[in-house]
Amino acid sequence: MSSGRISKLAGLLLACAAAGCATGASAETNLKVFVTSQGQPAIWRTLLDQYEARNPGIKVSVELGGTTSDMQAQYLNTVLTAKDSSLDVLMLDVIRPAQFAAAGWTSPIATDMSAYLRAYAEANTIDGKVVALPAFADSMFLYYRKDLLDKYGLQPPKTWDELADAAKKVADGEKNPNLQGLSFQGKAIEGAVCTFLVPYWSQGKVVTKDGKLDFDREAATKSLALWKGFADSGVAKKNIAEVATDDTRKEFQAGNVLFAVNWAYAWAMSQGAESAVSGKVGVARLPAIKGGEQATCLGGWEWGVSAFSKHQDEAKKLVEYLSSPEVSKYMAINGSLLPTYGKLYKDADVTKAVPWFADAQPIVETAKPRPVTPRYNEVSEVIRTTVNAVLAGATTPADGAAQIEARLKRIIR
Ligand code: GLC
């Protein structure tokens, strides 16, 4: 063979290797999925293993996001601004689709959204296009120690004042310096945006109306003062400004918290082998500001296909599977992630595994969304850093409310 023909053959083989066209054996597609560490990643992995077994030729690897939603957003912003193609499928917090769609970072998915809970069909449809598919639903709940409330003849509180009274009664009786009355998120993380909004909304106020800022400074002051009051009176611990979502989960699970504000994922772990409170936990609606309504924050995560993925068809197929009723049911049963399909809330297998899901659908359906805007990152930053500053004692509730208003005015016009 002439050296010219040999180099031509070598060139062909190299091109083939680069394009993944294996000779003889069938080609393999490797997909990389970005998964939030807040959403039971190990359980998603078992489903991905099953998907690989059902789809020969597809291999799926997982990249785990940082411990908070805002850390994950920061990372994804860097990767996607660089048009990096290494991630094919992205698990996104429900507050992100508007920004990701505006930036052109996710590929539209042609699908019918009518079977999903309406909030998620809406959050993922931007300018008439479906930009991601629901992974799991979520909202904030009040976790409480059923055993301790029973011991003191108490009911789950319906107002924050009742909660403070109950916490005091239990603290006086238990005399346990390690028992916190209430744990919530005061660290400058995404969860603190909901910390601020829950009592704000409870007063019947909105943040935006018809896309314009409609801020109530008095309601904001009251919200910030409520949380600071819990820290000052000893219902919450002094360094609540350092507490992130998973800290609340761990401290509650260790038996050191009477009431906790948390998302649905915390349930499965509170019932696990490593929990000190298994069988002693109740879940209820979050309390209201006296005279107001019991409001909560809409959470949840979505599956998007990266616009830069080199495997668009395979990634969309995987996302459709991950968003299917079969998977939603599996994650509800095994990971206590709330279903994205209404019919699963009364499913006998689901309610057997997580009894309180039977009453959770109306709570999720009336949960309020955080402001929907492509500039959500900035909105979030303003709110969460101010909540944190107030709880750390660096700003008063009134000044904090004024700062939030002034800064939001420059973002939402
Ligand atoms: C939960 C929610 C998500 C929220 C986050 C904040 O994961 O599902 O929407 O932003 O908590 O910590």
Q: Per the structure block, which two tokens stand in for 378?
A: 């900035």
Please give the Cα distance from 364 to 299 (Å, whole number).
9
pTM > 0.75: yes or no: yes
Closest Cα to residue 160, out of 292, 66, 248? 292
Give, for ligand 1, the residue of 40, 92, 120, 138 to mutate: max count of ligand atoms closer than 8 Å to Cβ: 138
Question: What backbone torsions phi and psi does residue 25 show, to the nearest 5 degrees?
Answer: -65, 155
Specify the fold of 27-137+299-365: D-Maltodextrin-Binding Protein; domain 2 (3.40.190)
Tokens of 379: 């909105």
H or E stretch covering 254: none
| Pocket test residue of 194, 379, 387 for ligand 1, highest count of atoms within 8 A of CB | 194
Calculate how far, in angstroms, residue 337's C-alpha sits from the geometric centre of ligand 1.
Answer: 12
pLDDT at 78: 96
Query: What is the per-residue pLDDT for 25?
Result: 54
Ligand 1 closest atom vs CA 194: 6
Distance 69 CA to ligand 1 centre (A): 7
CA of 159 to the centre of ligand 1 (A): 23
Q: Whose CA is nearest to atom 3 of ligand 1?
A: 299
CA of 28 to the centre of ligand 1 (A): 34
Q: What Å distances lie between residue 322 and 129, 137, 296, 301, 329, CA to CA?
A: 19, 13, 26, 12, 11
Burial of residue 324 (number of CB atoms within 10 Å: 0-12, 13-18, 19+): middle
Spatial contact of 272 and 130, defined as CB atoms under 8 Å apart: no
Integer Cα distance of 346 and 357 in angstroms: 8
Q: Strand 281-284's sheet: what is its strand order?
A: 180-183, 257-262, 141-145, 281-284
Name every protein residue with a CB atom under 6 angstroms from any ligand 1 atom: 38, 69, 93-94, 138, 190-191, 245, 263, 299-301
141-296+375-411: CATH number: 3.40.190.10
Q: How far apart are CA 247 and CA 23, in angstroms?
A: 52
pLDDT of residue 248: 98
Q: Which atom of ligand 1 is nearest to the CA of 301?
A: 8
Distance between CA atoms of residues 266 and 183, nearest Å: 13
Q: Which amino acid is at 385?
A: T
Ligand 1 centre distance from Cα of residue 38 (Å) = 8
φ/ψ region of 40 (left if φ > 0, alpha if ψ in -120 to 50, else beta) reads: left
The reported pLDDT for the residue numbered 37 is 86
Which residues belong to CATH 3.40.190.10 in the chain? Answer: 27-137+299-365, 141-296+375-411
Name the closest-CA residue to atom 4, ligand 1. 299
Q: What is the pLDDT along the chain (413 residues), one digit of tens a residue?
A: 444 444 544 444 444 444 444 444 568 999 999 999 888 999 999 999 999 999 999 999 999 998 899 999 999 999 999 999 999 999 999 999 999 999 999 999 999 999 999 999 999 999 999 999 999 999 999 999 999 999 999 999 999 999 999 999 999 999 999 999 999 999 999 999 999 999 999 999 999 999 899 999 999 999 999 999 999 999 999 999 999 999 999 999 999 999 999 999 999 999 999 999 999 999 999 999 999 999 999 999 999 999 999 999 999 999 999 999 999 999 999 999 999 999 999 999 999 999 999 999 999 999 999 998 889 999 999 999 999 999 999 999 999 999 999 999 999 98
Amino acid at 325: P
Which run of H or of E encompasses 301? strand 298-305
Dihedral Cα 328, 332, 336, 340, nearest 10 deg: 50
Q: Which residue has the tokens 């509180």?
A: 157
Nearest CA to ligand 1 atom 2: 299
pLDDT the model gives residue 18:
45
How would you classify the pairing of strands 141-145 and 281-284? Answer: antiparallel
d(CA 86, CA 106): 14
Find out whether 387 and 196 touch, Cβ atoms under 8 Å. Answer: yes
